[in-house]
Amino acid sequence: MKLYMPTMVFQEKDAVRNHSEQMAHYGKKALIITGKSSSKKNGALQDVTDGLEQYHTSYVIFDNIEENPSIGSIMKAAELGRAEGTDFVIGVGGGSPLDAAKAIALMIQNRDSTEEVLYQQKDLRHLPVIAVPTTCGTGSEVTPYAILTRDDLKTKQSISHMIFPVLALVDGKYIEKAPSSVLANTAVDALGHMLESYFHSNATDYSRMFCQYAMEVWGTAADVLFGAEASEEDSARLMFASSLAGMAIAQTGTSLPHGLSYYLTYHKGIPHGKAVGIFLAGYLDALPEEFEPQVIMALRTLGFGSIGQFAGIMKELLGTVEITGEEMEIMADEIAGNQRKLAAAPFDVTREQILQIIQSAGKE
Ligand code: NAP
Ligand code: FE
């Protein structure tokens, strides 16, 4: 078994404030990467800039990372980072700015390279990345992945370089006032990471350990997604579950639901977590019989009964997505032709089964 998790994680209330000195000492000038507005409203950006100012580290902010970041935005931000002489990158926000920060850190360091290197198998260095997550979904603060939109391939794909943040400062307070749709979509992304990593051909006892505890923690806070009032403790738990699930996929990668989700996000603009969540019950259902005891264990740990009940609850939470018969065929072909995604499933998956998973997402 192998376990590699090189990120230093502080998971606590006021994590950024408590560890500002460490954050500020990664370089002389930081490039802060964030989304358009949420990090200004939830206080994360202020905490980061206060922390840098306290230790006299200068910074410049790029606050224009869109959801499902484009390569164009990466290049623009990297240009700013180079022009300003920045020597480390701090991603603040959901998975989009965190993933973007990793790709930007690579492009600043390799200043004479063009965007093609993002997807080339080359051994390249990158600036240090610090991550401050404000959604409870991607776990990007502890994963080496950076998923960008590829217009040339009409899909989304992780860059070829494995970039773990050096430091993750994780604080549940940033999601306390998040709209219910952001909470639901991102908590379901984390749920996808737990289930896809648990039922993955690369799973080991180490990676399952992260999944199992992530499911337990997620299960104790999930009421919040269905309208219960969130306590400070609930927000902290959803964040914790998301980071644990990130540590799991950092070991295994994701599987078919994530593979299928990219088509829906690229072509229909469906948010990442929802695009993953609608396929989860179908994925569990497609697992061969020998997995049944583990499926039951996983669902119980999360607080669900049968796969059928789980499917119903996901639909209630996320709604359905209309997928035409033609789109279903295209999606099935795409995955059936993707050896890497097929190999992620812990059984020999047929095109027919992929089609069934897709069809199950549309059923009432
Ligand atoms: P996101 O795309 O980063 O953000 C979605 C929306 O939520 C944005 O409008 C954002 O606003 C808003 N938002 C963020 N934090 C908020 C808060 N605390 N309160 C209110 N609104 C908030 O969402 P995400 O689901 O976290 O990230 C999805 C991306 O991560 C996808 O590209 C996905 O492929 C990727 N991903 C990466 C990994 C990995 O391992 N690296 C794993 C799974 C998914 P602003 O734009 O104003 O900030
Ligand atoms: Fe995900």
Tens digits of residue pLDDT in 26-62: 999 999 999 999 999 999 999 999 999 999 999 999 9
Of all protein residues, the one whose alpha carbon is nearest to atom 32 of ligand 1 is 68
Give the percent of the chain with pLDDT over 70.
Answer: 99
Q: Is the CB of 254 under 6 A from ligand 1?
A: no
Instruction: State yes or no: pLDDT of 317 exceeds 70.
Output: yes
The Cα–Cα gap between 300 and 210 comes to 16
- Check whether 226 has a pLDDT greater than 80: yes
Mean pLDDT for 148-171 is 97
E strands, 29-94, in order: 29-34, 58-62, 88-93
**Taking 70 as the threshold, does the pLDDT of residue 145 lie above it?**
yes
pLDDT in tens, 80-123: 999 999 999 999 999 999 999 999 999 999 999 999 999 999 99
Residue 208 near residue 244, CB atoms below 8 Å: no
**pLDDT the model gives residue 362:** 75
Model confidence at 363, in pLDDT bands (50, 70, 90)?
low
Q: Which of 259, 255, 265 is nearest to 185 (CA)?
A: 265
Question: Which ligand 1 atom is at minimum distance from the Cα of 185?
Answer: 25
**Nearest-angstrom CA–CA distance, 42 and 271:** 20
Determine the average pLDDT of the residues in 187-209: 98
Given the CA of residue 177, which atom of ligand 1 is nearest to it? 19
Neighbours of ion ligand 2 (CB under 5 A): 189
Q: Which ligand is nearest to the CA of 65?
A: 1
Query: Does 364 score more than 70 pLDDT?
Result: no
The answer to whether the beta carbons of residues 183 and 137 sit under 8 Å apart is no
Burial class of residue 226 in the structure, from the number of CB atoms within 10 Å of its CB (0-12 exposed, 13-18 middle, 19+ buried) = exposed
End-to-end CA distance of the chain: 41
Place of tokens 């790709």: 103
In this prediction the pTM is: 0.98
Instruction: Provide the Cα torsion 244, 250, 256, 258; round to 10°.
Output: 70
pLDDT, average across residues 300-314 = 97
Instruction: Name the strand (E) or helix (H) holding 131.
Output: strand 129-133
Give counts: helices (H), strands (E), the chain. Answer: 17, 8
Asked if 156 and 266 touch (Cβ cutoff 8 Å), the reply is yes
Whole-Å CA distances, 168 to 8, 143, 329: 6, 10, 40
Does 275 sit in the ligand 1 pocket, CB within 6 Å? no
* Ligand 1 atom at shortest distance from the alpha carbon of 271: 25
CA of 280 to the centre of ligand 1 (A): 20
Average pLDDT, the chain: 97
Mutation to probe ligand 1, out of 147, 261, 318 (largest number of atoms < 8 A from CB): 147
C-alpha torsion 183→184→187→192, nearest 10: -150
The pLDDT-based confidence of 324 (bands split at 50, 70, 90) is: very high
